[in-house]
Structure 1
Amino acid sequence: MTGKEQATVAALVEIVLGADAASQALAALAIDPDLMAEGTPTVSRGAFAMAMNVVLFHDLLERVPSGAAYVADRTARGGKVTFDHGALRTVRLPEGPTGALPPGEEAFTRIFLPLGYEMAAIYPLDRLRMTGRAYRHADWPEAIPQFFLSELHVDRFDPEFAEVAARVFGTSRDPLTTEAQAVLARYAAGEDVTFADAAAALPVIVSAFDRQHEPASIGDYELLLSRSHEAAWIATEGNAFNHATDRVADVAGLAERLKADDWPMKEKLEVSRTGRVRQTAFRADTVERLFAGHELRRVPGSFYEFISRDIDPETGGLDLAFDTGNATGIFAMTSAKPD
């Protein structure tokens, strides 16, 4: 076997991030050894999905200094991060696509489904005029991070909001090339994908997790913000990871320690109706973004989250569910007013 065949996930990550960053990212994460040991000449959908998630986790830390500092502290203490899930926000206009992107969550289900993800549950986020959906990997449900994919429904807002949303998000381009879509089609058909083809497709597919539309004007941004903090966040951050989540044994105890050490911790712990899923987070880091007219403004960026999951007595495995109340509370981390 070649070096690449001996460590498919690591080799794919290294191609995107480079040797040093890949080594650092992989060292910080607790990944199932069997998944990391894949070394066939072809790349399974699970290995591709895991490599994609490692790269996205690295990108989140690059944009979220508080998360990067926490991960550095955790690894310095001899720990590793169990990457539970990443969260994305999308926009669904009343009719048709979002610019050149497929509408709403379809911009990402075309990626998730071929890579082995299945929709696990739907979570109405009515207070936010959104819908959340959980996507879980069929082959490695506990080992490969889930996605919490939310969709903002423009048709639930007033006509002025809809006009601005169409103007802002209607400029979206589609980052997926014909070649990357062909690789996804082969995964969807259950066909083999060579390492070379997977390696060429991975950075293109990762680029989908970014802002695809042109910078909004300050006026359009403020109009969106006046109706929906979530829409305003998408206006500046696009489809980048809204947050990445560390699965820990005792999130309540960790939160108290982090608060005592003056980390930017959310005040309230979110607890699911079952009591088995508990979540909290850092407040979103502030980022500087360029608006139309070359105007800079500081706005809420992404953030880092923590979750504890108990055993589901019905399945005997981890309770991998989410909770509408928890999600609504966590979404508030990006609701700070811009500077």
Structure 2
Amino acid sequence: MAQSNLERLLSAVLGADAAADVLATLDLEPALTEEAGETVSRGVFAMAMNGVLFHDLMGRVPTGAAYVGDRKAQDERVVFDHGALRTVRFADGPTGALPGGIEAFTRIFEPLGYHQAGLYPLDRLKMTGRAYAHLDHPEGVPQFFLSELHVDRFSPEFQAAAQRVFGTSKDPLGDEAREALAAFAKDGQAPISLAEKALPQITGAFAVTHDVPALGDYQTLKAESAEAAWIATEGASFNHATDRVADVEATAEGQRQLGRAVKDKIEISGSGRVRQTAFRADHVDRTFIGEGGGEVVLKVPGSFYEFITRDIDPTTGRMDLAFDTGNAQGIFKMTQAASM
């Protein structure tokens, strides 16, 4: 049997064994797993991108990997609902060599068939969140919750530190990525040989692209925004990935009984149809530049794994794919418990 386009793309980045593991872990629509040939659709490429990012998160979040391992041991698959990203927006201009704020990712999302599906002010955090859903596979290709931190809403000291840290950002997109995105934008598809070269460049955008921060700048950011401090160490890596489960309350209780650190509260949307909770962020060792120029290593919050239950919207008869401002601000707290 010919290798599917999805497997071929995943293998190009992850290798055959890891690609097979991703395909065995995620519950995927047949339209995404059966496509084959020398041209790849934007939907399959988007799913391959998400598969690479899910695999990366599993390598960084031991608690999430343990949960997923349990699911696989029970012959169950994960329904990958959405991933979350954080970006930085200066008052004017780009963020280093990157387009400003969310534009660093909308230039990727829109050619791949995503559209903005919701706007969520996160005023308590001095941020704005936006949901991006896939036009071709709204329930089958994971959404993105893309947030933007507004640097100009903070103190002058914070703004100066943010410029020193995030102003060093590099742009990981090369010629192949730009060519592939242009093809997806124009035709909704691209040659798979080009897509194989573009995928590692595009997934490379979901990472730390700025220089190692000075410890003093990190402390300045952290004093006013746990979210800015998180971006300083983790960049645009997946903040979390989310499993769509039938009963989030039962899932959370089962994880507590296993001794895993789950958020105490279930976040419930205003409609009551979307319910979320999450593991607390796993901590990671990160390097900073100290006052004398030497390296300092601290344990800080990394990424985490989330659970969501979505009910049917009676007005449409379809699954409610919306997000909720209150839910989002509650979930953001999973990365606030930094230790110095």
Pairwise same-fold verdict (TM > 0.5):
yes
Name 2:6's counterpart in structure 1: 9
- Hey, what's the Cα distance between the residues in 2 that align with 1:229 and 1:179? 36
Name 1:307's counterpart in structure 2: 308
Query: Paired residue for 1:223, among 220, 239, 244?
Result: 220
- Hey, what's the Cα distance between the residues in 2 that align with 1:36 and 1:191? 17
Name 2:336's counterpart in structure 1: 335
Look up the SS of the partner of 1:43 in the other structure: strand
Look up the SS of the partner of 2:286 in the other structure: strand
Name 1:202's counterpart in structure 2: 199
- Hey, what's the Cα distance between the residues in 1 that align with 2:141 and 2:325? 22
Q: Indicate if the aligned counterparts of 2:125 and 2:225 stay in contact, CA closer than 8 A.
A: yes
Query: Paired residue for 1:94, among 91, 102, 106?
Result: 91
- Hey, what's the Cα distance between the residues in 2 that align with 1:44 and 1:188? 11
Name 1:22's counterpart in structure 2: 19
Q: Does 2:322 match 1:325?
A: no
- Hey, what's the Cα distance between the residues in 1 that align with 2:253 and 2:36? 42
Deviations, residues 50-105 of structure 1 (Å, cap 9, x unaligned): 00000100001100000101000111112110000000000001110000000000
Any gaps of 5 or more consecutive residues in structure 1? none
Q: Does 2:242 match 1:245?
A: yes
Q: Does 2:165 match 1:168?
A: yes
Deviations, residues 171-218 of structure 1 (Å, cap 9, x unaligned): 000000122111101111116411100001001100000000001111
- Hey, what's the Cα distance between the residues in 1 that align with 2:113 and 2:172? 21
**What amino acid maps onto 1:102 in structure 2?**
P
Deviation at 1:314, TM superposition (A): 1.3
Name 2:57's counterpart in structure 1: 60
Deviations, residues 130-164 of structure 1 (Å, cap 9, x unaligned): 00000000000000000000000001111111111
- Hey, what's the Cα distance between the residues in 1 that align with 2:129 and 2:307? 18
> Cα RMSD (Å) of the superposition?
1.0
Q: Indicate if the aligned counterparts of 2:42 and 2:188 stay in contact, CA closer than 8 A.
A: no
Look up the SS of the partner of 1:10 in the other structure: helix
- Hey, what's the Cα distance between the residues in 2 that align with 1:157 and 1:180? 34
Look up the SS of the partner of 1:246 in the other structure: strand
Deviation at 1:3, TM superposition (A): 2.8
Deviation at 1:310, TM superposition (A): 0.2
Query: Paired residue for 1:148, among 141, 145, 148?
Result: 145
Do the aligned partners of residues 191 and 45 (structure 1) sit closer, same or farther apart at CA in structure 2, a change above 3 Å counting? closer
Q: Does 2:218 match 1:214?
A: no
- Hey, what's the Cα distance between the residues in 2 that align with 1:35 and 1:191? 14
Deviation at 1:308, TM superposition (A): 0.2
Name 1:115's counterpart in structure 2: 112
Deviation at 1:40, TM superposition (A): 3.0
Do the aligned partners of residues 191 and 301 (structure 1) sit closer, same or farther apart at CA in structure 2, a change above 3 Å counting? closer
User: Runs in 1 of length 4+ with deviation above 6 angstroms?
Assistant: none
Deviation at 1:337, TM superposition (A): 2.2
- Hey, what's the Cα distance between the residues in 1 that align with 2:119 and 2:128? 7
- Hey, what's the Cα distance between the residues in 1 that align with 2:26 and 2:228? 31
Q: Does 2:276 match 1:279?
A: yes
TM-score by length of 1: 0.98
- Hey, what's the Cα distance between the residues in 2 that align with 1:335 and 1:192? 40
Deviations, residues 19-70 of structure 1 (Å, cap 9, x unaligned): 1111111111100112210113200000100000001000011000001010
Sequence identity (%): 61
- Hey, what's the Cα distance between the residues in 2 that align with 1:45 and 1:112? 10
